Amino acid sequence: MKISKATLLAAIAFLISFFLPAYAGSAGWKCFHFCWDLLLDYSGKSQGEPLKWLYYSGFVFTNLLFVAILVLTFRTTRYLRTRFILSTVLFFHVLSWFFVNFTKESWENMNLQSGYFVWLLAFALLAAAQVLAGRSPALIRIPEAPRGDL
């Protein structure tokens, strides 16, 4: 199976994003670890905590689904539409972190750092890879000429 450049770049960007500073000086893997710990240690003490827990825990599943979709992209051409829709939803979930942190104070302190933007790029490339996989020449059917009596 031929691997698209977008798929390969998505995998590389995703991996690199975990080693770059992503949020307030913390590397991407530390941010993932924070979300993982929050997922496993749910104790909704105040009114807003369940929503915070759900939002942050969603990033754990977003990362795990990224890997699953990436593996499927390497292995098969099935479920392209489902993979595209899912990868697009995951992209918007990652993009939402930008808007959550879109305040004047956040920009002055520069909480969002290069690792976050590389991570976001990885999700955009994953969605693009699904579109490109659907346009693969191997998937295009050439209609046969009707057979008739000559």
> Do the domain assignments include residue 144?
no
> Do the domain assignments include residue 149?
no
Domain residue limits at 114:
5-136
Q: How many domains does the chain have?
A: 1
> Do the domain assignments include residue 145?
no
pLDDT reported for residue 44: 56
> Do the domain assignments include residue 148?
no
pLDDT reported for residue 104: 60
Do 148 and 91 meet the contact criterion of CB atoms below 8 Å apart?
A: no
Dist. CA 105–CA 14, nearest whole Å: 27
> Do the domain assignments include residue 82?
yes
pLDDT reported for residue 23: 87
Cα distance from N-terminal residue to C-terminal residue, the chain: 39
> Do the domain assignments include residue 64?
yes
pLDDT reported for residue 102: 78
| This model's pTM is above 0.75 | yes
Tell me the β-bridge partners of 112: 23
Taking the chain (150 residues) in runs of 10, the rounded mean pLDDT of each run is 80 93 85 85 62 86 94 82 92 92 66 88 93 62 57
